[in-house]
Amino acid sequence: MSAVRGVRGATQVGENSPASIAAGTVELLGELLAQNQLTPQDLISVIFTVSPDLDAAFPATAARSLGFEEVPLLCAVEIGVPGSLERTIRILMHVNTSKSSKEISHVYLHGAKSLRSDIAQ
């Protein structure tokens, strides 16, 4: 039986450049898809947020290179809380899956592991 689930992830990139944002987005999406045995066809929608210091490119642009052309994508800026992690891309995917909530793998890479050290990869 299939259900709608939320899949979360985040990564920290090295710099505010189109190449760095694209590479970080592709790496994180690849891990989220692989660890949850998903394809772009399983996705309902994806919300990307970036920390206020990342404004060189849209993460959604990189997602399209992975076959996300038919998936609704939205980019937004995170709240600039003082002291929060810099150069961070966050993802919330809404997916159709037969996995239970407990079976979902949420992925936190690089410096973003500090955001959820309890579940970071």
Read off the pLDDT of residues 2-37 as tens digits, 9 standing for 90 and up. 899 999 999 999 999 999 999 999 999 999 999 999
Tell me if residue 87 is catalytic.
no
Classify residue 56 as exposed, middle or buried by CB count within 10 Å of its CB (0-12, 13-18, 19+). middle
Tell me if residue 64 is catalytic.
yes
Query: Catalytic pick from 15, 27, 64, 103?
Result: 64
Domain ranges of the chain: 3-116
Read off the pLDDT of residues 49-83 as tens digits, 9 standing for 90 and up. 999 999 999 999 999 988 899 999 999 999 999 99
pTM of the model: 0.93
**Which is nearest to 53 in space by CA: 79, 27, 72?**
79
Element at 36 (helix H, strand E) = none
- 3-116 belongs to which CATH class? alpha beta
For residue 119, pLDDT beyond 70: no
